[in-house]
Structure 1
Amino acid sequence: MKAAPEEQQLQAMLNGVDIPPCPAILLDLDAELRKDEPDQRELARLITSDVALSGHVMQIANSPAFSTGSRLSSISQALTLLGTRQVFNLVVSQLLRVAMADKVDAGLERFWESSAQTARLCGEIARRLRCVRPDIAYTFGLFHDCGIPLLMRRFPQTKQVLAEANAAEDALFTDVEDRLLGTNHAVVGYFLARRWRLPGEVAEAIMRHHDYSVLARADEFSQVVRGQIAINVLAEHVIRLHTQGEVENEWSKAAPYACDFFALSLGSVDDLIEDLRDWLG
């Protein structure tokens, strides 16, 4: 797999964007999860030590998006039925919201809701196409744009820049950001993902996720990295079609690469898209 850019080069590309430190509870959870046999009782103890955090995790775990058929009554139950990685994702998501709550506009709540919807659809696509583990696809869908709130905190013009990048028909999305901001949300998200203990191949995919040529470069990038990128751009396209009824430039750029990666014809992908729109309801 192709090596990531040198750390010093990436640090320079941040252009003054501040990456919040990883909370102590995440360090402790990550240390436990890295053990050969993580202790669910210890994971539950760590999460429940923060009353507000555990309350949020339970609220989301009992939402329709994570329906298990019965109401969960404890963090231990959530860990058993949802899985440790899924609960870890919920913890990271909530702690990120808290870390940025007083530093960005209130409209960012829509960003988190959109990310959660994308994550659920990424997991579903992964289950259907079997090219990446669903939990990895979900994690990537949830955090692929996590650099955007940090850009918004650093640069007041971020929304306008993102709109211009979305409108670019030929240029890479991140190239537009680099030109106007001197950095981009993919690099910022990469650093955040690494610091906040997300899996290494998730961080790598975050950094590359607007360069769709990666999907054709199997000799340089792993199946997992490429699969996350392909699944996510398809998920975002399906959601855009479903909610706004339009095709965005990113899908136009990505479609040939994504179809080749999935080994599906454009017609087969179109059929899949319609099935996924039905799944969204």
Structure 2
Amino acid sequence: MSNLAVSANAAADPVDALIKSIRIPPRPSLLVDLQCELARDDPSPAAIGQIIGRDVGMSGALLKLANSSFYGGKRKAKSIDQAIIFLGINQVAALMTGLLARQAIGADNQALAHFWDVSSRRAQAMLFLARRLHIGEPDVAHTFGLFCDTGVPLLLDRFPGYAATLAEAAQDPLRPLTALEDERHSTNHAAIGCLLARNWGLSTDVSWAILHHQDYSVLDDTATADAVRALVALSVLAESAIAQYHGMASSLEWDKGGARACAYLGLDTDEIDELLDALQECFHALD
């Protein structure tokens, strides 16, 4: 499935029925309230603090994350209100959205521990790259990085044989990972991740970037929004950095999309190496 928009008249379409059978976690009410406040002409930091403060567990987790070396720097927030002042409402909202995603999809599931570790590092890498290269909005890049593979655990829950599909597809040096998913399951993690992002009210740029994040031809498509192409290009660098962090000599995703990503971002080999080295330092600082 190359496009999430399975046609509207597909009531009898088996693919449409299949997608409806996949458990998409509903958007948390806390996120709904948070997004409503952010959509105001002048969002109130105090109101956002009150919304987050309704859930003591989420508040504590957010405060711990906000005070980490990566996000918090030298200033340590003692309350959600201080975290909002130090980080800004958009970054706090992005962190909160990520925490709610982990809770909804299965943060306590040991089988997903590696998945969430990679997702967290991707989000951190996307945030770092967006800030360093001054491309797009850092909080949007962070959200995309965390959500881009959220279709994976949902498909693992739906298809008993999906883990084998994922493992095999991840070793294919030529085709997009989504190609084998489509062949075996009539859908793929990018499409399901896009559906989740839409259902959760995430931005259109994030949703479409999730849908296309392993279709690197989109980087050459001038009809696609620059914000979407930028997120996809940055994700290729992030994947390469994560592969290096895990001791891999190379990244298949970099082999597939690295040249296009570099061309889109206007970066040469030395600049890429410098960014990847900086990301390694960033990752190790979080260990």
Q: TM-score, length-normalised on structure 1?
A: 0.90
Q: Which residue of 1 aligns with 2:106?
A: 101
Cα distance in 1 for partners of 2:203, 2:7 equals 17
Matching residue of 1:143: 147
Give the structure 1 partner of residue 235 of structure 2: 232
**What is the count of residue pairs matched by the alignment?**
277
Cα distance change of structure 1 residues 52 and 213 upon mapping to structure 2, 3 Å threshold: same
CA-CA distance at 1:204 after TM superposition: 0.7
Contact 1:13 1:187 in 2 (8 A): no
**Aligned residue number for residue 17 of structure 1:** 22
Distance 1:184 1:52, change over 3 A: same
Q: Aligned ranges for residues 244-255 of structure 1 at < 5 Å?
A: 244-255=247-258
Q: 1:19 to 1:80 in 2, by over 3 A?
A: same
Where 1:107 maps in the other structure, the secondary structure is helix
Q: Give the match's secondary structure for 1:131.
A: coil
Deviation for aligned residue 1:91: 2.0
Question: How far off its partner does 1:20 sit?
Answer: 1.4
1:258 to 251, 258, 261: 261
Query: 1:76-115 to 2 correspondence within 5 Å?
Result: 76-101=81-106, 105-115=109-119
Amino acid at match of 1:46: I
Is 2:140 aligned against 1:153?
A: no
The match for 2:272 among 261, 269, 273 is 269
State the one-letter code of the partner of 2:238. A
Shift of 1:271: 4.1
Listed one character per residue, the Cα deviations across residues 105-125 of structure 1 (whole Å, up to 9, x for unaligned) are 412122222211111111111
Q: In the TM superposition, what is the alpha-carbon distance from 1:231 to its structure 2 partner?
A: 0.4
> What amino acid maps onto 1:237 in structure 2?
S
SS in 1 for 2:126: helix
Which residue number in structure 2 is paired with residue 44 of structure 1? 49
2: CA distance between counterparts of 1:11 and 1:62?
43
> 1:95 Cα shift?
2.0
Following superposition, the deviation at residue 85 of structure 1 comes to 2.1
Q: 1:133 is matched with which residue: 116, 125, 137?
A: 137
| Mapped partners of 1:198, 1:37: distance in 2 | 19
The one-letter code of the counterpart of 1:198 is: L
Taking structure 2 as the reference length, the TM-score comes to 0.89
Q: Deviations over 1:178-220 (max 9, x none)?
A: 11222111011101111112111001100110000001112x1
Give deviations 1:143-187, integer Å, cap 9, x for gaps: 111111111111122222111111111212111111122211101
Match of 1:35 among 27, 33, 40: 40
Matched-pair contact (CA < 8 Å) for 1:89–1:139: yes
Counterparts of 1:151 and 1:98, CA distance in 2:
17
Unaligned runs of 5+ in 2: none
The Cα RMSD (Å) is 2.2
| Percent identity for Structure 1 against Structure 2 | 36
Give the conservation status (yes or no) of the 8 Å contact 1:15–1:182: no
Preserved CA contact (<8 Å) 2:148 2:210 = yes
Structure 1 residue 267 displacement after superposition: 4.6
8 Å Cα contact 2:94-2:140 kept in structure 1: no
Distance 1:7 1:221 in 2: 20
Shift in alpha-carbon separation, 1:177–1:155, aligned structure 2, 3 A: same
Give the CA deviation at 1:11.
4.7
**Residue equivalent to 2:73:** 68
Distance 1:21 1:249, change over 3 A: same
Q: 1:94 to 1:267 in 2, by over 3 A?
A: closer
Q: Pick which of 267-276 and 133-142 moved more.
A: 267-276
* Residues 24 and 275 (structure 1), Cα distance of their counterparts in 2 relative to 1, 3 Å cut: closer
Structure 1 stretch 156-165 or stretch 260-269: which is displaced more? 260-269
224-233 vs 63-72, greater mean Cα deviation: 63-72
**3-state SS of the aligned residue for 2:32?**
helix
Where does residue 172 of structure 1 map in the other structure? 176
**Is residue 14–residue 187 contact of structure 1 (8 Å, CA) maintained in 2?**
no
